Amino acid sequence: MPARLQDKIAIITGAAKGIGLATAIRFAEEGAKVMLADINLAALEQCAAQIPNAEAYAMNVTDRDSIQAAVDAIMQKHGRIDILINNAGITQDARLVKMTEMQFDAVIDVNLKGVFNCTQLVVPHMLEAKRGAIVNASSVVGLYGNFGQTNYSATKFGVIGFTKTWARELGPKGIRVNAVCPGFVGTEMVMAMPSAILEDIAKRTWMGRLGTPDEIANVYVFLASDEASYINGSTLEVSGGISL
């Protein structure tokens, strides 16, 4: 079977660990030239050294200058950007009555405005090429809400709004925009939750377990590939059925 992303230039944000790193590995396996983007450059360079056709770019999604510098460097070297995976995200959980303004703003800045920043600075190059694929990381929390995650839920709902709006605006220009809504996946961020909560989540998932980063990465590969050439504006839940 031919590689599904052969020679595609793909930017993946939040690529130093978790789902982002798993996605970078899978994209490379499918023939892509992978541009790893993360705020943690040291960790990113270690990852890039172990992935074929991977390059590391320091990027803070809340800092437009750092995004622009990375995009400019990629364009100068490769001449195009075919795929953008808006994966970077953080949590700072607290119940509404205890959430600080700093916690709220930090999550909004990374998870919502960061997606806006990256997309707005990459899209002009896709428009010039008249093609591209953008995949945004939402969450089941962005579909159903979650206790203690006012800020996170708001960002993930917002990302779905971005996705549907941009699919309308950019679809006629040859650029597809879709969102993935993972359930609870065994990343470092999720595994930091108390074990009792993790056990309860596994019980509530009809497959009886948490997901793996690779299982989300496989969906990113599909949506970024030509196999999904008529999928635009979709919100795909990948949760093991936790919402059933």
What domains can be seen in the chain, in order of their start residue? 9-185+213-234 (3.40.50.720)
- C-alpha distances in Å from residue 184, one per residue of 5, 104, 210, 230: 27, 21, 6, 28
Average pLDDT over residues 97-115: 98
pLDDT tens column, 151-166: 999 999 999 999 999 9
pLDDT tens column, 107-151: 999 999 999 999 999 999 999 999 999 999 999 999 999 999 999
pLDDT tens column, 213-231: 999 999 999 999 999 999 9
Neighbour tally for 104: CB within 10 Å: 17
**What ranges make up the beta strands (E) of the chain?**
9-13, 33-38, 54-58, 83-86, 132-137, 175-182, 235-238
Residues 198, 208: Cα–Cα separation, whole Å? 11
57 tagged catalytic: no
> Would you place residue 237 in the very low, low, confident or very high pLDDT band (cuts 50, 70, 90)?
very high
Residues 2, 161: Cα–Cα separation, whole Å? 34
> Would you place residue 94 in the very low, low, confident or very high pLDDT band (cuts 50, 70, 90)?
very high
Average pLDDT over residues 91-105: 97
- C-alpha distances in Å from residue 136, one per residue of 2, 23, 112, 177, 223: 25, 13, 10, 8, 10
Residues 7, 146: Cα–Cα separation, whole Å? 39
Residues 161, 141: Cα–Cα separation, whole Å? 14
Phi, psi of 148 (to 5 degrees): 80, 10
22, 216 Cβ separation under 8 angstroms: yes
0.75 exceeded by pTM? yes
Which of these is catalytic: 57, 152, 220, 230? 152
